[in-house]
Each structure stands twice: as C-alpha cells, then as structure tokens.
Amino acid sequence: MFWWRERREVGDWFVDLAFTDVAGGVSTGGRSSLNLAGHVGDDADAVATNRARVADALELPASALNFMAQVHGADVAVLPCDPAPSADAQIGADFDQALVVLVADCTPVLLYATDRPLVAAVHAGRPGMVAGVVPNTVQKMRSLGAADLRAVVGPSVCGRCYEVPDEMRSVAAQQFPASHAVSWSGTAAIDVAGGVVSQLHDLGVPLDWVPGCTREEQKLFSHRRDHGAGRFAGVVALRRNAA
C-alpha cells in the first residue's frame, strides 16, 4: 500500500507523510489495484473502497482525506474548502485531516512547517513546475506564518523517461536549468522533479527526495507507461501526540 511512509515529530505534534503504490486495493485492469482517482474510468465503489483502505491505514476516517480538482496550474487553496478546490496545491492547519495529491508521473510534493502546525500537498507536473506552483505554495505558507519549512519530493517520471519536443524542453530549461534532461534514446527530455528540487533549494527549503521512476517501477502508476493507469497519492496529515 505504501511506497514510502514516515512519521516526523515536530514539537507537540507529528506529521504523517506517505506515498502510496499500486498494491492493496480492489480496482482491476490498468488501475489494478489501489487506484485513488475518480476521473480515470474506474468503478466508483472500487475507488471509495481504496480510499477507505488508505484512510484506515492512516488511522483516519475516509472523510478526512482532502482531494483537489487538479488542473495543471499554479493556484494554491487554503483549507477548509467545500467542495474540493480547483487547484494544484492545498494548505491546511487542522489536525486529523489528510491533504492528498494524486499523480501518475507528475511530481508530488509534501510540505510541512516545524514552527507551527501547517502542511501542504502539491501537484507539480511540467506546466505547474514552469508556472511556479511549488514556489507559490512556499510563499503562501510563509505568509501564513511558517518560518521554517521542510519538503518531501515523491517519486515521478524521471528525466530519462520524459521525452518531449526540443522547444518544450527549451522553455522549461530557460527558467529552470535543472530540468534539462536527455532521454534514454538521446532525445530532448525534461526532469520535472529536478526542476522542483532546484526551486525548493533556491527558496531555502530543506528536502528529502524519495527515489522511484514511475515509468520504470511497476509498483507505481504511470500514465506514460499505460494511458489507462490509475493514480497513486502523496498524503500529509497533522497528528497530535498521545497525551
């Protein structure tokens, strides 16, 4: 169920951070088995069951999972929002609420503050990386009073596997040179995660980068490998320490 999961103590609370994988669900076909997305043609009951299983593993009710309507932009929503925000980043300060980002090649980024209870989940595809969704989220969290931030960058398609036209690579690399990549066959490619990591470095945000290329790893969903693929998740939640 979890590709990576870690609990980090922060003052009087802790942050639960995780990236799911493909195992442990009930979906079938290209979405087998832990698809968490409702927009990829999967059975709605299967998606609901999968989400409930993830929530249960996190010791939360399914209603505590907060999803976004991701649009490959740079808008940042601050929770609570009803209905789900149309954005590619969400920030929350409520305990026992999980912020979720869905991906299948794009880069998931989880952020948390060490000086106050504040967390964020970010969806950074190529358009969002270029548009600055990660810097926008960092700036918004700082405007909300977070002076000391940390980030975890999740698995995504690697630069060798993300072949693009030369012009597209040039546009991205002009702004973020770290995103310049070459594919396995020597053609133009983009390293979105590399660009995101460089953005966080420039913003002075320490980070951990969880390894894994979605196209190469069968335990992760990949739209480039299979256009009928499901979506895995990055999840971050604020939790209180036991009294």
DSSP letters spanning 72-95 = SS--EEES--SS--BSSEEEE--B
Q: Is the pLDDT of residue 242 over 80?
A: no
pTM value surpassing 0.85: yes
Q: Is the pLDDT of residue 81 over 90?
A: no
Instruction: Using alpha carbons, list the distances in angstroms from residue 93 to 15, 41, 127.
Output: 11, 32, 27
CATH class of 2-240: alpha beta
- Identify the residue whose tokens are 């390293």: 191
As a whole number, mean pLDDT of residues 7-29 equals 96
As a whole number, mean pLDDT of residues 22-40 equals 96
Report the share of the chain in percent with pLDDT over 70: 100
